[in-house]
Amino acid sequence: MADFEPRIVAFLCHWCTYTGADLAGTTRQQYPPNIRVIHLMCSGAVDSIYVLKALIDGADGVLLGGCHPGDCHYQTGNYKARRRVAILKGILNQMGFTEDRIWLKWISASEGKLFADTVTKMTNDLKKMGPNPMKQLWNA
């Protein structure tokens, strides 16, 4: 499994995590290129269907990045995202699918280093886990 490169689909909110990712770039933080970023206005705009579609269609992990609790630009979007992710993880858990492939992370616009470190850690963790079994299931 040494040459396995996980693919991570990241849904990042415009006001915090996406800007944090931008900061990681402008401050020349190094992180693995395994992440594909999808830019959304708010973590609260992420429907469970986006996450599942990514996982079923071949992503090894999904990262949801939003503002820290209390910092949401739209007041409460990240709290709602948190409940949605909790529900989705609860469902997947009981379907025998490891919920560790879905990450929820609060990263602010000033936390470029945290963004780079998060992507690094997630990539390493997914490498240990191996490929997502869902993408090979013929009947999924």
- Element holding 39 (H helix, E strand): strand 35-40
* Residue 88 binds to other proteins (criterion: CB under 8 A): yes
| First CA to last CA distance, the chain | 23
Q: CB-wise, 27 or 76, nearer to other proteins?
A: 76
Query: Residue 106 in 3-state DSSP?
Result: strand
* Residue 125 binds to other proteins (criterion: CB under 8 A): yes
What is the crossing angle of helices 112-129 and 17-26, to 10°?
100
Q: Which stretch binds other proteins (CB under 8 A): 2-10, 12-20, 31-39, 114-122?
A: 114-122
Site for other proteins in 2-41 (CB under 8 A): none
Measure the CA–CA gap between 25 and 94, rounded to whole angstroms: 38
Task: State the minimum distance, in angstroms, from the CB of residue 5 to other proteins.
Answer: 16
Count the site residues for other proteins by CB under 8 A: 46
Measure the CA–CA gap between 20 and 29, rounded to whole angstroms: 11
Q: With contact defined as beta carbons under 8 Å apart, do 40 and 13 qualify?
A: yes
* Residue 92 binds to other proteins (criterion: CB under 8 A): yes
Of positions 5, 27, 86, 130, contacts other proteins by CB under 8 A: 86
Interface with other proteins (CB under 8 A): 48-49, 52-53, 56, 58, 69-70, 76, 79-80, 82-92, 94-97, 100, 102-106, 114, 117-118, 121-122, 125, 133-140
